[in-house]
Amino acid sequence: MADLFTHILIGYTLAIMLSWRYEWIPYPFVTMVLIGSTLPDLNRIDLVVPEESISVLLGLPFTWNPLHRVGGTLLIVCIGALLVPKAYRRVVFVLLSVGASSHYVLDLLLYKPSGITSPLLWPFVTHGLAIDGFYLSTDRWPVIAAAVLASLVWVVDQRLMRTDNPDA
């Protein structure tokens, strides 16, 4: 899944660059941004647990689609923040939100033939946005560009930004 890998690479790049600016983002917390960048794609759990199975089990209509909307992702971020010790909840909430936001920014740049995005901002905006798009989900150049950018950030981080590096 080049698409998911692109989200993770962009999340890594963003997290490392934010850790340069903000001392309250140590390296272990960079992982929270990476996790947050994958949260909107939890709707793909349908590949493992089909919606029809849940519908039969509950006896009610069911869909995983709200997980790929801002409202569903916000719910997952809140749950994630509650799973950590109280001292870290705000930091984890912010970092998971940053990762999820980067995911939505990339998804809004996807080219749709209709010119209208899916309602990613539900429940705050109930319709899609009119955006031309920048790339297709099948394009390979976004993952290559993200990998090059993440590699450059990693090199800068290792060579110039790390204070605990004895070679610096």
Given this model, what pLDDT does residue 2 score?
A: 58
> What does the pLDDT average to over 79-87?
97
> What does the pLDDT average to over 50-75?
94
Nearest to 95 by CA among 25, 5, 41: 25
**pLDDT, tens digit, 9 for 90 and up, residues 134-166:** 888 888 999 999 999 999 999 999 998 876 655
Please, where are the H alpha helices in the chain? 2-21, 27-38, 51-58, 70-82, 89-108, 141-156
**pLDDT, tens digit, 9 for 90 and up, residues 126-135:** 888 888 888 8
How many CB atoms neighbour CB 118 within 10 A? 17
